Structure 1
Amino acid sequence: MASQRALELLVLNNMNIGTVGDSEKLATLASHVSEADLGWNQISKWSDVACILENLPHLRVLNIGHNPLNPVIDHKLPVSTLHTIILNGTHLSFKTLQSFLSVLPKVTELHMSDNQFNDDDDLNEPISTSVRTIHLNRCGFQKWSSVMNVVRRFPNVNSVFICENPLEDVTHCKHFDSLSSWSSLNMAKTAINSWDSLDDLGKMKSIVDLRIPNIPLLNNLSDEERLHLIIGRIHHLRVLNGSKISEEQREQSERFFIRYYQEQKEKPAQYKSLIEKHGNLEKLVNIDLTPKKEAVVKILCEEKEVNTEMTISLEPTILEFMKYLEPKVAVKYTRIKLFLFRGDGRNEDFASSTYNMPLHYFKVEDGDVFMIQEKIVVPKRRRPPSSTSSSSS
């Protein structure tokens, strides 16, 4: 593929590569590469990074994560049209990041997971104004201030991923207010364990797309409770865990939220505003609509002097029930005519078309009466043999 200039994806992940080598050969073989994965290698020199950028003019995605890059850029880097750069596990300082991204003016997606950041880093200028999406997963963040210390340096950020961090809280702060483009946040598998954190997320009005599964706060709640209680608390959300929130869904969640906290002494701040919107709601009655499995009924067959009460299963079909009754009423099931008399005066005549339907379909209740009659079987009359006249000569 390289010789035919058709190579667009170059994957040399975890190959113990320490240097690029012959730059002319790289330019010949990889000139059409648009995505290069060189992660988990031994590249340390920025001259090798410069060589990659110079000789891959169509490069759009570059992964040099988990390489021991020199903490200081000591080589001039060419301007590149990269739009995604992956620097996971490189532990670069803010100043080094700023220098590197200055030659990548079109980068919109930055991967900085598996890095350790210094909260005392005194760089005050933005690191990049082009980055829209930043990944900060598994960076050891325990405090929201540590997250904001990084994110605020990307003033035009739109989406932030902070998954799998031991983050225990979210706190609204002045730095967030300057990030007006920030609309999406993914906090999956963090250590959030307080409704106060979600209340503070509710103060971050620009965030309309939130992913927050697998956090301790929600572990003991049902799926229904998780959905409604989050939507009820954060009124401006449009998307939760990847699903769009319709107006109907929002109203259901807000009503659920009111009923959930109605009888609790401590009510969240949102409760009052939702009461003003929907009013005080009656508590819902739990109605079990699953079919009954058993019923206590009376079996009556006057012809056989049977009048007994028994508990029957409502799972069998009508035909199976008739076979069950055969020894109890001493009538062969094929000759049973079955009727159901209900307590409210309604009755049911089971025709052959209903024989394959289960008893619970007919909503049999305790106290109902099954009446059995024996069908009268009229023997078929044989036609007499036709007589023929005979003549003799």
Structure 2
Amino acid sequence: MLHFASSICDREEQQAQDPSPAAQRCYGETEMEPPCGRSFMQVLCEKYSPENFPYRRGPGAGVHVPPGPQVSPMKDRLNLPSILVLNSCGISHAGDESEIAAFCSHVSELDLSGNKLDNWQEVSKIVSNVPQLEFLNLSSNPLQASILERECAGTFSGIRKLVLNNCKVSWETVHTLLLELPELEELFLCLNDYENVVSSPGCFHSLKLLHITDNNLQDWSDICKLGTMFPCLHTLVLANNNILAIDDLAGSLARLFPNLRSISLHKSGINSWEDIEKLNTLPMLEEVRLLGIPLVEPYSTEERRKLTIARLPSVSKLNGSVVTEGEREDSERFFVRYYMNVPKEEVPLRYQELVRKYGKLEPLAEVDLRPQNQANVHIHYEEKVQQINVRLDQTVAEFKKQLKTVVQLSTNNMRLFYLDREAPYGLEELKFSLRALHSYNVRDGVEFYVEPKIK
């Protein structure tokens, strides 16, 4: 094991066993209660030791620790990238803060998901010693019972992207963080069992993207609170919440979400086309995701997409796929024809708008393009002609078996010719036993000639 990594681990084990006040202050523990689990610094040394993470040399390759205000004499023995992934490593506390500062001064992204961090003070000890940190993932750490003091939250001030999925953190904790993160642009609050949204005393203009999927939100009034808190949102992901309806009282959507470009209502409870049409009041909306909602279940895949596109004239991307100009016109024409014979009281307002655009369209002619399954054909053998019905999906070999009882010849002693009088080629022998009859363009009235093989 790397000497430096071992020395840090040994020192931490000694401090954990030492009931001295200094050791207690370092770990924030009460007397005789050493920290459980592994320290951030211990895991860092093990994972990124030269043995496990060799330094690579050459242009554009390798990782290094640039000089910082606090430099460890052993810094050249540990190779750290600027993006650290320490997920599911059993981390429960920070460890030696001076060593974190020495080795992590250049780190910009840190993934601590799936660890055992249950105290915001320990998280703060790590973050406060990573001055360049912009991305922090704390997903699936048991932080729900820990109280976050505002002074502690101040150490997160430089973070731009924060992931708190499945941490079960309270809205009070979220508000405390938001007050201290003036540059936060992306926030992930998924899987936190939220049944409602608690309003914050202030609003936060820096946030552009909010993922709050897989919670228990139902009432649109809670979504309005998000608009009040985050007036500059570009992207709002509400998937897997049981939102039943969209309200636009007094033009609230445009007022609360003036910059929203993308919204996901995937697997929500929306069950009304009128609710979908309310999204048109969002002035900047470009992308919508609406898969898995009760509203579209009765429709075919084609109907779902075309009826939705026709109702959302400003949307340029639906369910992840770009809406081209051609597809939009096809969808709008489809929409007009779809509702042209519907009772007046059931015709949506959008229908009249599109009739003014395209006029009253004629119904499309129904053309069955499916291949013919059977045909009545004439069989010529010797001086006889017999009409039979044949399946066109069968092979030439199977057709010959069918003809055995008609011409009284074995299949091995049978030559079979096909005559299409509309074609200029004359008789064509069917030589390929595995070829299907429909590939010869067989249809009603064509003629087959059977001859015995000459021995």
Short-chain TM bin? 0.7 to 0.9
- Counterpart among 111, 116, 126 of residue 37 in structure 1: 111
Correspondence list, 1:270-281, <5 A: 270-281=350-361
**Equivalent residue number for residue 268 of structure 1:** 348
Counterpart of 2:150 in 1: which secondary structure?
Answer: coil
- Counterpart among 294, 297, 314 of residue 392 in structure 2: 314
Q: Structure 1 residue 76: deviation in Å?
A: 6.4
Counterpart of 2:191 in 1: which secondary structure?
Answer: coil
Q: 1:120 to 1:107 in 2, by over 3 A?
A: closer
Deviations 1:197-242, CA, capped at 9 Å, x for gaps: 1121223232110111111111222111111010011111100011
Given residue 207 of structure 2, which amino acid in structure 1 is its aligned partner? Answer: V
Given residue 9 of structure 1, which amino acid in structure 2 is its aligned partner? Answer: L
Q: 1:91 to 1:346 in 2, by over 3 A?
A: same
2-structure distance, mates of 1:376, 1:164: 70
**Equivalent residue number for residue 142 of structure 1:** 218
**Equivalent residue number for residue 338 of structure 1:** 417
Correspondence list, 1:52-71, <5 A: 52-65=126-139, 66=141, 67-68=143-144, 69-70=146-147
Rg larger in 1 or in 2?
A: 1
Deviations 1:288-319, CA, capped at 9 Å, x for gaps: 22222221223233x3x423222112124456
- Counterpart among 213, 221, 246 of residue 170 in structure 1: 246
2-structure distance, mates of 1:79, 1:12: 19
Q: Structure 1 residue 33: deviation in Å?
A: 3.6
Q: 1:107 to 1:375 in 2, by over 3 A?
A: same
Deviates more, 1:200-209 or 1:37-46: 37-46
2-structure distance, mates of 1:349, 1:58: 82
Asked if the contact 1:258–1:271 (Cα under 8 Å) also holds between the matched residues in 2, the reply is yes
**Equivalent residue number for residue 372 of structure 1:** 449
2-structure distance, mates of 1:76, 1:106: 14
2-structure distance, mates of 1:369, 1:262: 43
1-structure distance, mates of 2:171, 2:390: 76
**Equivalent residue number for residue 231 of structure 1:** 309
Q: Which runs of 5+ in 1 are unaligned?
A: 380-393
Q: 1:53 to 1:117 in 2, by over 3 A?
A: farther
Q: 1:321 to 1:79 in 2, by over 3 A?
A: closer
2-structure distance, mates of 1:108, 1:82: 9
- Identity over aligned pairs, percent: 28
- The two structures have a TM-score, normalised by structure 1, of 0.82
Asked if the contact 1:172–1:204 (Cα under 8 Å) also holds between the matched residues in 2, the reply is no
Q: Structure 1 residue 361: deviation in Å?
A: 2.5
Q: State the superposition RMSD in angstroms.
A: 3.1
1-structure distance, mates of 2:159, 2:149: 21
Q: 1:298 to 1:11 in 2, by over 3 A?
A: same
Q: 1:73 to 1:41 in 2, by over 3 A?
A: farther
Deviations 1:78-127, CA, capped at 9 Å, x for gaps: 36432211223444336x5444234333321111223436556462x31x
Asked if the contact 1:337–1:350 (Cα under 8 Å) also holds between the matched residues in 2, the reply is no
2-structure distance, mates of 1:97, 1:325: 80
- Counterpart among 182, 207, 211 of residue 105 in structure 1: 182
Given residue 159 of structure 1, which amino acid in structure 2 is its aligned partner? Answer: T
2-structure distance, mates of 1:52, 1:160: 30
- The two structures have a TM-score, normalised by structure 2, of 0.72
Matched, 1:85 2:165: no
Counterpart of 2:217 in 1: which secondary structure?
Answer: coil
**Equivalent residue number for residue 160 of structure 1:** 236
Asked if the contact 1:53–1:59 (Cα under 8 Å) also holds between the matched residues in 2, the reply is yes
2-structure distance, mates of 1:141, 1:132: 20
Given residue 348 of structure 2, which amino acid in structure 1 is its aligned partner? Answer: P
Q: 1:41 to 1:341 in 2, by over 3 A?
A: closer
- Counterpart among 63, 84, 89 of residue 9 in structure 1: 84
Asked if the contact 1:54–1:78 (Cα under 8 Å) also holds between the matched residues in 2, the reply is yes
2-structure distance, mates of 1:144, 1:287: 45
Deviates more, 1:333-342 or 1:133-142: 333-342
Correspondence list, 1:296-315, <5 A: 296-301=376-381, 303=382, 305-315=383-393
Asked if the contact 2:164–2:188 (Cα under 8 Å) also holds between the matched residues in 1, the reply is yes
Matched, 1:250 2:324: no
Asked if the contact 1:71–1:93 (Cα under 8 Å) also holds between the matched residues in 2, the reply is no
Asked if the contact 2:149–2:176 (Cα under 8 Å) also holds between the matched residues in 1, the reply is no
1-structure distance, mates of 2:123, 2:451: 95
Counterpart of 1:199 in 2: which secondary structure?
Answer: helix
Given residue 154 of structure 1, which amino acid in structure 2 is its aligned partner? Answer: F
Given residue 84 of structure 1, which amino acid in structure 2 is its aligned partner? Answer: K
Deviations 1:223-277, CA, capped at 9 Å, x for gaps: 1111101001111110001110000000111111112112211111101111111
Structure with greater helix share of residues: 2
2-structure distance, mates of 1:100, 1:244: 36
Q: Structure 1 residue 375: deviation in Å?
A: 7.9
